[in-house]
Amino acid sequence: MYNSKIIGLGHYVPENVVTNDDLSKVMDTNDAWIQERTGIKERRHVVRGDGDTTTTMGVKAAKIAIERAGIDKDDIDFIVFATLSPDYYFPGPGVLVQRDLGIKSVGALDVRNQCSGFVYAVSIADQYIKTGMYKNVLVIGSELHSHGLDMTTRGRGVSVIFGDGAGAAILTREEDTTKGILSTHLHSEGQHAEELSLIAPGMGNRWVTDIMEDNDPNDESYFPHMNGQFVFKNAVVRFSEVIVEGLEKNKLKATDIDLLVPHQANLRISQFIQKKFQLSDDQVFNNIMKYGNTTAASIPIALTEAWEEGKVKSGDVVVLAAFGSGFTWGSVIIKW
Ligand code: UT7
């Protein structure tokens, strides 16, 4: 048995910055509300027609990660792509990355676990590497939310939060099993599936033709729905539980954490976790202020920026934790 470790990180966000004031021009919202309730100052939105998609953003992040890992694209043995906003209903973006990067015909897997998608994807990559089946795995989290949001006052409880972007990591074999990814922890609670969801079009629900036929101006089923307060309350509990689970599994204490990179859902959630575990500002990385909530992309974007800023050093205990739609949640404990 081996461990896996992250040897390359990259991120890409579209150039177009959308401030809270920009949003207040198209819906009844304001900078003070958004900053106070979420911590978000601005986010990035792909401009329609610019050519960026969930896949192309993922590819751009992946190219940086591959270069920083010092490997060739043909060294990649497997691709895992996490997103809730794929270019096509099918096939998923994994194969599009294989095509666009010109990688030989390796396996490509799509993960649909929303905000915890990257944590799930890392866990999958880790297992393949641990068993020796694959050596180098490309893991991508990428989202293009902005084209599918209700940008009117009706949708403001959701639309102001989400942003576009991508992050990627190269995981490789680590022979020293005291280093690298020490453990991953995954959970779900499907009884709350609809509390944070986008239910149409869906084969088991209403298909595109049904939506067109109904032509109902009050139809909100093809926009994301979130029961914000309920999600928030569950998030703070599950984040805490799954961090404790990971620490206990590795006989670590909160004081051993050098850096916690939480999914960037809401700055207040991160601050709650920080307080609960009595972590200093240096021990928790947040960038939701700049990018909003980029779902499966949020952890790899944040981890990349933390690494670029020198906040992730060899020997550090780095904890990734996420919670989101499903509900699904999880954590990754890393000895860098
Ligand atoms: O990433 C996946 C997991 N997601 C999360 O963890 C998100 C969890 N939830 C949250 O982050 C928060 O619940 C939100 C940021 C979504 C909302 O914050 P909140 O403090 O829970 O606000 P609320 O939904 O209870 O709404 C409070 C008020 C309402 O007005 P009334 O009924 O009190 O008059 C809303 O209509 O704020 C109003 N409101 C807004 N006002 C200005 C909702 N959205 C907006 C807005 N601008 N964008």
Give the residue, by CA position, lying nearest to ligand 1 atom 42: 29
Q: Does an H or E element contain 81, and which?
A: strand 78-82
Dist. CA 58–CA 295, nearest whole Å: 13
Q: Is residue 202 in some structural domain? A: no
Whether 265 lines ligand 1, by a CB cut-off of 6 Å, is yes
- Residue (of 329, 333, 316) closest to 265 by Cα position: 329
pLDDT of res. 9: 98
Whether 83 lines ligand 1, by a CB cut-off of 6 Å, is no
Whether 322 lines ligand 1, by a CB cut-off of 6 Å, is no
pLDDT of res. 24: 98
CA of 20 to the centre of ligand 1 (A): 14
Name the residue of 232, 263, 301 to mutate for ligand 1: max ligand atoms within 8 A of Cβ: 232
Whether 232 lines ligand 1, by a CB cut-off of 6 Å, is yes
Dist. CA 317–CA 324, nearest whole Å: 24
Task: Indicate if 192 and 157 belong to the same structural domain.
Answer: no
Residues 13, 291: contact at Cβ < 8 Å? yes
Task: Indicate if 189 and 140 belong to the same structural domain.
Answer: no
Active site residue 263: yes
Task: Indicate if 231 and 250 belong to the same structural domain.
Answer: yes
Task: Indicate if 170 and 286 belong to the same structural domain.
Answer: no
Task: Indicate if 64 and 115 belong to the same structural domain.
Answer: yes
- Establish whether the linkage from the previous residue to 91 is cis, with ω within 30° of 0: yes
Mean pLDDT for each 10-residue chunk of the chain (336 residues)?
A: 97 98 98 98 96 97 98 98 98 98 97 98 98 98 97 97 98 97 98 97 91 92 96 98 98 98 98 98 98 98 98 98 98 98
Give the residue, by CA position, lying nearest to ligand 1 atom 28: 157
In the chain, the number of structural domains is 2
**Distance, CA of 63 to chain centre:** 18
Dist. CA 251–CA 55, nearest whole Å: 39
> What strand order describes the sheet that includes 317-324?
180-188, 328-335, 317-324, 259-262
Task: Indicate if 188 and 49 belong to the same structural domain.
Answer: no
**What's the CATH code of the domain at 50?**
3.40.47.10
Dist. CA 204–CA 214, nearest whole Å: 17
Task: Indicate if 264 and 243 belong to the same structural domain.
Answer: yes
Whether 156 lines ligand 1, by a CB cut-off of 6 Å, is yes
Task: Indicate if 298 and 191 belong to the same structural domain.
Answer: yes
Q: Where are the beta strands (DSSP E) in 175-239?
A: 180-188, 196-197, 225-226
Task: Indicate if 72 and 113 belong to the same structural domain.
Answer: yes
Whether 235 lines ligand 1, by a CB cut-off of 6 Å, is yes
Task: Indicate if 23 and 136 belong to the same structural domain.
Answer: yes
CA of 157 to the centre of ligand 1 (A): 5
pTM over 0.85: yes
Domain that holds residue 233: 180-197+222-335
- Which of 263, 266, 286, 287 is labelled catalytic? 263
Task: Indicate if 19 and 75 belong to the same structural domain.
Answer: yes
Q: Is residue 243 in some structural domain? A: yes
Task: Indicate if 152 and 228 belong to the same structural domain.
Answer: no
Instruction: Report the atom number in ligand 1 closest to the C-alpha of 157.
Output: 44
% helix, strand, coil for the chain, step of 5:
40, 25, 35
Whether 336 lines ligand 1, by a CB cut-off of 6 Å, is no
- Which of 3, 45, 115, 136 is labelled catalytic? 115
